[in-house]
Structure 1
Amino acid sequence: MDFSMSGVTKELDILKQLFEKLSDTDKQAFLTSASSKEQVKKVIEQKKVTNCPHCQSTHFVKNGTKCNNQRYLCRDCKKSFVEQTGTILYNTQKDIEVWEKYIHCMIEKYPLRKCAEICEINLATAFTWRHKILDALQNMMNEVELDGIVQADETYSTISYKGHHKDFQLPRPAHKRGTRAGKRGISKEQVCVPCGIDLDGKSVAKISNLGKQSLKGLQKVLNGKVAKDSVFVTDSLRPYQKLSLDMNLSHIRIPRGKRAVGTFNIQTVNSYHSRLKNLIVHRFKGVATKYLNNYLVYHNFVNFAKDTLANKEAVLLDFIRKTMCTIKSADVAKRPAIPV
């Protein structure tokens, strides 16, 4: 007999008896509370250790515990490791409950100071955690493939050197946030960001180059990201036509001055751009160009992907527990000022 299942059955019987004793009003209140998304406890599967994170060998054994964490010893490279080795959570000084709070704050798009206050962590820690998580999320977005009706368009962002300049010298005079580029129109004072979306809530976006869009820049971001037999809908920019031929896609071009060709348009990707700029300019008060690719991934996952916020929290927490990402806190700010 399975005594564990027997115990669960008895507990359920007791709960049923207690529930039946409630008034109709109390029953309704209880059911409403239990079904509320905010009350649902996220159950995250424990990461299954399949190989050594140091040498990828599958020849390892258990090697005791430390701080309630199971340790393992690799028989080949002789190094020890735990479940979290090589992930964001390795060497963290905070409990997983704090990370759960922080991920909730990220999904709600709270600014860093509010995240730090809610999670009771330092502001610098809140900043580092955000970019460690977004660096890991890049791995998820690298697997995205757009299909069906795929809309593509580019947007531009003025180069920003926001942040501390302890080890960095500005290549131009400093100015206040929001100041327009010195040159009119599209220039190399701006980064070009090609974006592709489909109607199922999947999206890809990345900085491609400085200044005006080019075929090489489009290939860098969209090549290999659109499934065969998809319908590629763009504006009349010539490089899109060349890209569609390279990828052997059906191509619908929206002529200049028109909003649609039949039922095809690029309004969804235009809305994507609008929500992206609202996130960056209004919610986060501008971001440094060196972090822009991370905020593009942030926007893709939080703003554009089709799922409930509660499910996104669970997916993201599970993802960072299981995904290899070894970036160090000291390296977060050392990335190139313009990542092209």
Structure 2
Amino acid sequence: MGCAVEEVVRAALGLDAGDRAAVAGAIVVSLAEEGAARARAELAEPSCCPRCGAGAPARRGRDARGRQRWLCRGCGRSFTKESFGLLSRSHLPASTWAEYARAFAEGATLRDCAERCGVCLKTSFFMRHRMCEMLGIETVTLRPSGAPVEADEAYLPASFSGNHSRDPSFSPGRPSRRRGGTGGGRRRQERLITLADGRGGSEVGVAWGSPLGSAVAMMRSSLGASCVVRTERGGQMGHAARLAGLAQERAEGRVNAVNAVHSRIKRFMRRFDGVSSRRMQSYMWWFSWADTATGGVAGRLRELIALIPVGRYRTTWRAMVEAPYPPPPVPICASKNV
């Protein structure tokens, strides 16, 4: 560090806790704004449509702000290089997103985040889910390195909380019950498909409908053809690995790496006091990122600040509000020969 930087650090360390937090917040805001400006300047020509993924877009004039627009040859809609970016359609400045990232990295509640950022509770809720979706799109939390990847299922209580008046035909698929208890066994719980590598990385997906089909799709999208999937002797994960065209290895005992991930998932979810089943995947993206991030709160904050200017999302506010509830789980018959 130079002399000037050392003097600034010494001066900051001489402040009380509140003033040091204010200085740190100002630095975070400045970094976020600089990163957003740099990302806008460095964006290259888009290679595909952010909506449908079709390639080779064509130039199509400019928008009201002078930005180059592109026409998708697949869906026929136009877009700019900033379309579906975290900051592109937000009415909030980068400084507000930076402060929200700081609260998000610390694991603050929705109300605390809203108070710190000067927004309402509804906006804080939307910002959290947009952050989670950005993490699911932009980060890779599973990195197979030649060692077998462990696969298994976990179960969390199904929840149908939300405004059911938006869909008069809504039915939870089970009778109502009082709070407490396990909710009728595993057939009425949400299944999580978990993949864990040997280096602490993991990926967690929510199985909607058929858990076998969800596991096959997840393995095909996340694992290479040369990966070996290690499973327990019972259950459906071995069958899913074979259907996905992957080699399967039966563990002699327990799959300890993935069981440890399940333990951390339940500890992570306990603080939220229940999550609606249709929002569960967002929290699994959040968990997978937080579980593999290094450097504590400061490390997570650095990663978020770097992602905010370039991070993208797919789910609009309307789509999130109108998101359907998952169908009732499809019971499967596990065989000892799988």
Counterpart secondary structure, 1:85 = coil
Q: Give the Cα separation in 2 of the matches to 1:125 and 1:199.
A: 38
**Alpha-carbon distance change, 117 to 232 in structure 1, aligned in 2, over 3 angstroms:** same
Q: Aligned partner of 1:218: which letter?
A: A
Question: What residue number does 1:186 align with?
Answer: 186
User: What's the CA shift for 1:142?
Assistant: 7.2
Q: Secondary structure at 2:231's aligned position in 1?
A: strand
- Structure 1 contact 161–170 (Cα < 8 Å) conserved: no
- Residues paired across the two proteins, number: 299
Counterpart residue number, 2:220: 223
The superposition leaves residues 82-111 of structure 1 with CA deviations (integer Å, 9 ceiling, x where unpaired) of 764332322322111110111122222222
Q: TM-score, normalised to structure 2's length?
A: 0.72
Deviation readout 1:119-170 (Å, 9 max, x if unpaired)? 1110000111111222233323578553424222110123211122231344
| Alpha carbons 2:231, 2:251 under 8 Å: kept | yes
Q: Give the AA of the match of 2:157.
A: T
Q: Which residue of 2 aligns with 1:50?
A: 44
Question: 1:195 is paired with a residue of what secondary structure?
Answer: strand
3-state DSSP of counterpart to 1:157: strand
**Partners of 1:314 and 1:267 in 2: CA distance:** 31
- The 1:200/1:80 distance shift into structure 2, 3 A limit, reads same
What CA distance in whole angstroms lies between the structure 2 residues aligned with 1:95 and 1:122?
A: 15
For residues 167 and 315 of structure 1, what CA distance do their matches in structure 2 show? Answer: 37
CA contact 2:152–2:231 (8 Å) conserved in 1: yes
TM-score (norm 1): 0.71
Name the counterpart of 1:157.
Answer: 156
Secondary structure, aligned partner of 1:207: strand
Partner of 1:207: 206
- Structure 2 alignment gaps of length 5 or more: 330-338
- The equivalences for 1:1-340 within 5 A come to 15=4, 41=28, 42=31, 44=35, 45-47=38-40, 48-51=42-45, 57=57, 59=59, 71-74=66-69, 84-140=82-138, 144-147=142-145, 148-168=147-167, 169-171=170-172, 172-182=174-184, 185-187=185-187, 189-210=188-209, 214=212, 216-227=213-224, 229-246=226-243, 247-249=245-247, 251-254=249-252, 260=253, 265-280=254-269, 282-306=270-294, 308-338=296-326
Q: Which letter maps to 2:265?
A: L
CA separation of 1:72 and 1:196: change in aligned 2, threshold 3 A: same
Q: Please give the secondary structure, in 2, of the residue aligned with 1:233.
A: strand
C-alpha contact 1:150 1:230 (8 A) present in aligned 2: yes
| Distance in 2 (alpha carbons) for counterparts of 1:75 and 1:206 | 33
SS in 1 for 2:112: helix
SS in 1 for 2:86: coil
Whether the aligned pair in 2 keeps the contact of 1:146 and 1:203 (CA below 8 Å) is no
CA distance in 1, matches of 2:94, 2:310: 13
**What CA RMSD, in Å, does the superposition of the two structures yield over aligned residues?**
4.0
User: Is the alpha carbon distance of 1:108 and 1:245 closer, same or farther for their aligned partners in structure 2, counting shifts above 3 Å?
Assistant: same
* Contact kept? 1:149, 1:232, Cα under 8 Å: yes
Whichever of the two has the greater Rg, that structure is: 1
Relative distance call for 1:197 and 1:221 in structure 2 (3 A) is same
Cα distance change, pair 191–58 in 1 and its aligned pair in 2 (3 A):
same
Distance in 2 (CA, whole Å) between partners of 1:13 and 1:307 is 24
* SS of equivalent to 2:116: helix
> How many angstroms apart in 2 are the aligned matches of 1:28 and 1:96?
24
Identical positions, percent: 19
Q: Deviations over 1:237-277 (max 9, x none)?
A: 253333444544351323xxxxx4xxxx5222212112212
Q: For each residue in 1:50-82, what CA deviation from the matched residue of structure 2 results, as whole angstroms up to 9, or x when unmatched? A: 3377896464888896xxxxx3144879x9977
Q: Is this contact kept in 2: 1:86–1:325, CA < 8 A?
A: yes
For the residue of structure 1 that corresponds to 2:186, the secondary structure is coil
The structural deviation recorded for 1:203 is 1.5
